[in-house]
Each structure stands twice: as C-alpha cells, then as structure tokens.
Amino acid sequence: MSHAVVKKPETDTCNSSLKQSLHPAQSHDAKLLNGSLTSHQLQPRTNGLTHAAASSAASVASSGGSGLSPAAAMAGLLSGAGASTALPLPPNSNGEQSPSYERYRADDSSYVPVGQFFAGRSVFITGGTGFMGKVLVEKLLRSCPDIRNIYLLIRPKRGQEVSARLTELLNAPLFESLRREKPKELSKVIPISGDITSEELGISEKDQNLLCRNVSIVFHSAATVKFDEKLKLSVTINMLGTKRLVELCHRMMSLDALIHVSTAYCNCDRTDVEEVIYERPYNPDDIISLINWLPEDILDQLTPRLIGKRPNTYTFTKALAEHMLLKEAGNLPVAIVRPSIVTASLNEPFAGWVDNFNGPTGLVSALAKGMFRTMMCEKNYVADMVPVDIVINLMIAAAWRTATHKSNDLRIYNCCTGQRNPLIWSEFVKYAMCSVRKHPLEGCLWYPTGELRMNRPMNTLNCIVKHFLPAYIVDGVARLMGKKPFVVNVQNKIAKAVECLEYFATRQWRFKDDNVHGLLHTLSPKDREIFVFDVRHIHWDKYVERYVLGFREFLFKQRPESLPDSRKRMVRLYYLHQLTKLVAVLLTWRFLMSRSKRLNDMWSAFLDNALKMARLIPFL
C-alpha cells in the first residue's frame, strides 16, 4: 500500500453531542472538511491526502475541534462514541490502484543520490538526544558530508544549558569516529532551545524564524516511549507535540519532507497491520480536551477504558498522533515510519551500540547477570525486532523519496523484520543465552539459565522460587554483613519491565512492509550499500552476539580485556549451579522418602540390588 488510507467503519458511531460546526476556512479546504466537495472534485486534491484519508479528516473536523466543550467530549467518550467497531472498507475507497515504485535504472539521468540530495540542506530534528536521534545525527554527518546544518531541539535539563547538553552529546562514544576523522562536521550541529511539551515547542521567536528560513527536512522522533506513562503526559508529548511541530512546519518556506516516527504497534489491537492509517479510536481533539479539563487522578481511572484493547498509553497516543498528523498536515510533504521493537545497532556507527535498558535489552541484561529466569512468552511467535541503524537509514531514504517524488499520498513505512527475516522468541533466547555465557558480565551473580512459559501459575511459582526467594536471601545476608540490600529492588524493576513486555511476547502480528520493499528498489546499488535497510541481510545469531557485547561495553562499561576473568568466574558458577541442582534433588528425594514408607522400601530394594551388582563387577 502506498496511499495513506484510513480504514473507515461502515457506520459513524459518533454521538451527536460531539458534533460541532467548523469555523470558516479558506475556500477549498473549508469545502472539503464540510463535505461539500464531490468525489470527483476531491480526486485531484494536492494537500497530501488521498480521498479516503480526506474523508477521515472531514469526519474528524465535523465531530469536533479544539474548541469542543470538555463536558461534551467526556460525555461522548464515556458513552463509547469515539470507538470504531464496524468492519473496515477496502483500503482504497476511490477505486484507484496503489501506485507502484519504479525500480532504479542505471541509465536514469534524473536520479539524485541520497547523500547528494542532502547537500546544502538544513535539517531539523526533534528527539535528537534520544536513542534513535543520536544515531540519526551521526549518520547524516557521516554519510551526507555536504549537509549544511542540523538543528537539534534540546530541552534545558537539570540546570544544564542546551549548549552543554550538546557538547555532552557530541562527546559520546557514538561520535568517536567523527571526532577523529571529520571533527569539523560536528560544528554543523546547532542546538535549538525548546521543549516538546510547551506551546510553540518552547522555541523563541528568533529561533522559529531561523528554522522557517533555512530548514527543508524535518525528522520528528521526539516521544515518550514509557509504556506506563501517565495519559496526560503521553498525550502532551506524543499528540500535542506533533500538532505543534506541524504548525511550525506550515511556516517553513522550503519544506520538502516531514518524517514522523510512529510505531508499528500503534495498531496492536489488530493482527494484520498494513501500511495504512486505520480509523481512529477517538477524536484526538476530544482526548486533548479531556486532559486539559479533568484532574489527573480521574484521568488515571479512565485510562484503561479509554485505551481499550491497547496495552498502554504509548500505543494509544501514537495511533491518535497519526490521525492528528493526517488532519493537520494539509499540503505538507509527509511520510510516517513505523518501527517495531528498536534494538542495538547492526553495523553503524559500530555493531551493538545501545544506550538504554528499554525493551529486550533490560531483560537480556538481567539474564546475563543471572537474575532473570522465567517469563510469560509464546516461544514460537515472531520477536519483531529491528536494529536502530536499519530504522535510521529507512528514515533518511523516506525523506529523500518524499522530497524527490512529490505526491498527494501520505506514505507509511512499516519498518519490521517479521515478514522478510523472522526471528522467533525461542531462537532469540537461545542466541542470547549462548552469547551471555560466552561473553559474561563482570560480577555475574549466577549462571544464566531461563525458560519461556505460557502456563501462568507455573510461571508465577518459578518467579517466586527463582527470582524473589533468592533475592530476599541475598538481601538478608547483605543486611547481616552491614551492607545495603538491593537485589529485591532490582527484581521489582525486572518484574515491572516483564509486565510491560509480556503483551508483545504473548501475541503475534503480521506487519506488511510493501512500501519499505518498494523504496529499497528505487535506490541505486551504491545508496543501498550506504543506507542499508534490507532486513534480509541480518544474521540473527551474529547480531545477538554483537548485541550482548554492545550492552556489556556501552551500558555496563566493561572492557573486552576483562572477559578472560569473567569467563573463569562463569565456569565456577556453572559447577556451583549443577551442584545446587543436585543438592535440591537429593533434599527433595529425602523429604519424599521420609513421608512415604512404600517409596522408602522401593529405594532400599534398589540399593540392595545395586550393591549386589557392584560385587559381581570384578568377576565380569
């Protein structure tokens, strides 16, 4: 699919109390949103929306804007008015075929290489200090050497000015090769003081004018990725932040591409996820009205009902942010990139780079420490993980495509591995287990083992016996020795992380990635080598090994030179683990024998026979 199609219900379930007339607007757009243009008139529209998407935008506008009464919004939401329950229509409701991607031809003189496209251009990035943002900045500086400037939205933090935060960012290990080989490139990164949660993004009027004059490419990756984030903050960052950025983009004089980073799991309430925008669960403006009106404690009580089948506020607000983008974009050249579970880098700027414990990284780290042994997971389901540099390369290519091939379509790219190069959870755990034993962490507490289960009572029992019981014993010993206990606290954090990931480990999705595959074939062979996002080239066993070495070095700050001593310790832990299992079996057997005379008699008879056989051995 290449159209930004809204999968729309057959019937409109919106409550009439939520409807509100649109304020008069400029001619064509006003007529469109008021539904007065015919299908024929809608077809040649140049505002970046397809016919089906425009219909959805019209529905959003007619069901309420930012001026909607909070009481009316709450009444409609609590009555379930905003939720879509009807079956979806076919993807392209105006009957057109989705346009295909033309393959690269060596004789095409109009082809502009990706790196050359960025020459002389200035880029604005939100979320540039985050995990993905850092990799994006480094990749643009290294692979697009003639880029003019990169403006980073940076929030003053803990008394640090934005210039100090930028210096800290550029001194990170990620930029080591640039500092060594191309130090002048780093001067192209310019901090813009602001805050995604503030009006006008907290950017001064002077800096706004600077951006509007110079920027032609925008990457919007700022978001709260905490699964258990409060609804109010999640809406403020993921939805209102997107809306405010789009308002700024409308003022940019030469904007050629706006790339919005969403998530493949924003539609996790359905099994098959295509590269389309599905019908909104609620009117985004109604949700914004609620968070502005209701006290936070009431919002917390309403959150489970509002998010419905989605597991958390992150996926819920990301879905609504796509609709907000669809409604507010107008004629902006927009594309959406939806990565699945983003993990350590595959190759760039070096293999295994990661800077946080989010998602699988935290759990594999706990496994490597010997503190994590069991979780609820369907071992034969696909673990749809994608290396961060794959996502970044796709974002850059999507910006190139959006700018060089003007279209009325809002393109969506599902950046996933499950369709082209699937990795199931049991394989991931096997590779991770092998790697953490081969490259152990310093100070490992126990020999790493673990098991995936789908039996909840058995999993709970194993959590108590293998996680919390040892944790309380270790902390008890620490208290007796006058040391500070910490293991129970760590286990509580692990349990919370497991709870967040469990939803995604016990379900499976099929993410269609036709647009990603199509975009790949429009690139020249050289650009495919520079901007790699073909997931078929990932060798998962080697990747997971580099992943483990990466978090060992970059998160635990442990040098490769310490590996020999860590391996010796791992051997000792292995024998201690086997001895512990043997003792546990003997104690269990002893307990059973003391409670059963029949079992005791059987054991005595077995020993007598074994001794008789042993006496005969010298004569055999």
Mean pLDDT along residues 411-439: 96
Name the amino acid, one letter, at 47.
N
Q: Which long-range contacts does 558-561 make (Cβ < 8 Å, 24+ apart)?
A: 558/441, 558/442
Q: How far apart are CA 341 and CA 233, in angstroms?
A: 22
CATH number assigned to the domain comprising residue 193: 3.40.50.720
Residues 513 and 610 in one domain: no
Give the phi and the psi of residue 443 in degrees, each rounded to 5: 70, 25
Q: In the prediction, which pLDDT does 619 show?
A: 57
Helix (H, G, I), strand (E, B) or coil at 229: coil
Inside any domain, residue 493: no
Residue 20, pLDDT > 60, answer no
Binned at pLDDT 50, 70 and 90, residue 62 comes out as very low
Name the amino acid, one letter, at 368.
A
Mean pLDDT along residues 39-50: 33
As a whole-number percent, the residues of the chain with pLDDT over 70 amount to 83
pLDDT (tens digit, 9 = 90+) per residue, 581-600? 899 888 888 888 778 888 88
Q: In the prediction, which pLDDT does 415 show?
A: 97
- Tell which residue, 259, 554, 272, has the closest CA to residue 416: 272
Residues 245 and 157 in one domain: yes
Inside any domain, residue 558: no
Inside any domain, residue 496: no
Residues 195 and 145 in one domain: yes
List helix spans (H) across 439-562.
456-462, 469-480, 487-505, 514-520, 525-530, 540-554
Inside any domain, residue 548: no
**pLDDT: which is higher, 82 or 101:** 101
Residues 198 and 261 in one domain: yes
Inside any domain, residue 494: no
Residue 603, pLDDT > 60, answer yes
Residues 612 and 521 in one domain: no
Domain stops at, among 518, 537, 556: 537
Residue 93, pLDDT > 60, answer no
Domain stops at, among 489, 517, 537: 537
Residues 527 and 580 in one domain: no
Residues 533 and 571 in one domain: no
Name the amino acid, one letter, at 575.
Y
Q: Based on the number of CB atoms within 10 Å of its own CB, is 305 exposed (0-12), middle (13-18) or buried (19 or more)?
A: exposed
Whether the ω angle into residue 156 lies within 30 degrees of 0, i.e. cis, is: no
Inside any domain, residue 463: no
Q: In the prediction, which pLDDT does 6 show?
A: 52
Residues 180 and 218 in one domain: yes
Query: What mean pLDDT value characterizes the chain?
Result: 84
pLDDT (tens digit, 9 = 90+) per residue, 484-517? 999 999 999 999 989 989 999 999 999 999 999 9
Residues 323 and 262 in one domain: yes
**pLDDT: which is higher, 32 or 368:** 368
Quote the number of domains for the chain. Answer: 2
Q: How far apart are CA 612 and CA 206, in angstroms?
A: 96
- Tell which residue, 202, 210, 206, 204, has the closest CA to residue 237: 202
Q: In the prediction, which pLDDT does 77 show?
A: 59
What range defines the domain where residue 242 resides?
108-356+382-421+509-537
- CB atoms inside a 10 Å sphere around CB 13: 14
Q: Residues 6 or more apart from 25 whose CB is under 8 A from it?
A: 33
Residues 337 and 387 in one domain: yes
pTM of the model: 0.84
Q: In the prediction, which pLDDT does 31 show?
A: 33
* C-alpha distances out from residue 266 to 16, 273, 435, Å: 27, 10, 32
Highest-scoring range by mean pLDDT, 3-17, 320-334, 531-545, 598-612? 531-545
Q: Residues 6 or more apart from 499 whose CB is under 8 A from it?
A: none
Residues 513 and 605 in one domain: no
Name the amino acid, one letter, at 220.
H
Inside any domain, residue 191: yes
- Indicate if the alpha-carbon torsion angle 280, 92, 246, 195 is positive or negative: positive
Cβ atoms 478, 375 nearer than 8 A: no
Cβ atoms 570, 444 nearer than 8 A: yes
Name the amino acid, one letter, at 120.
G
Residue 328, pLDDT > 50, answer yes
Q: How far apart are CA 204 and CA 558, in angstroms?
A: 42
Three-state secondary structure of 366-410: HHHCCCCCEEECCCCCECCEEEHHHHHHHHHHHHHHHHHCCCCCC
Inside any domain, residue 253: yes
pLDDT (tens digit, 9 = 90+) per residue, 193-252? 999 999 999 999 999 999 999 999 999 999 887 877 899 999 999 999 999 999 999 999
